[in-house]
Amino acid sequence: DGGITQSPKYLFRKEGQNVTLSCEQNLNHDAMYWYRQDPGQGLRLIYYSQIVNDFQKGDIAEGYSVSREKKESFPLTVTSAQKNPTAFYLCSSSIDRDSQQYFGPGTRLTVT
């Protein structure tokens, strides 16, 4: 099956710990994105990558880091510097930056 996978579905961490969220796609898409969704708010862009080994900050990149070493993988690290990390995180991809975006099932991160 083709698609975008995110793991794990639920993640619990203690405050002060870094955590990495996985995003993998087998759609051969060049562009990949990370969004954060909070209750009552629209999705906000964290980071995006249009090609391997290149990525740009989105609107709320502080406290997050990414890498794009392979076309199919775009992991997101939530660092201890992120003040309010508890949220629903969504990964998406598209053939190129101007095409339809497809989303993964999301990871719900809870930090206590």
CB 48 → another protein: shortest distance, Å?
Answer: 7
Among 27, 45, 52, 61, binds another protein (CB under 8 A): 45
Contact between 31 and 97 (Cβ < 8 Å): yes
Contact between 2 and another protein by CB under 8 A: the answer reads no
Contact between 43 and another protein by CB under 8 A: the answer reads yes
- Full DSSP string of 51-66: ETTEEEE-TT-TTEEE
CB 7 → another protein: shortest distance, Å?
Answer: 13
Cα angle for residues 12, 90, 40 (degrees, 5° grid):
85
CB 27 → another protein: shortest distance, Å?
Answer: 13
CB 103 → another protein: shortest distance, Å?
Answer: 4
CA quadruple 39, 50, 47, 104: dihedral sign: positive
Q: Which residues share a beta bridge with 5?
A: 24
Residues contributing to the site for another protein (CB under 8 A): 4, 6, 33, 40-45, 48, 56, 58-59, 88, 90, 92, 97-98, 100-106, 108
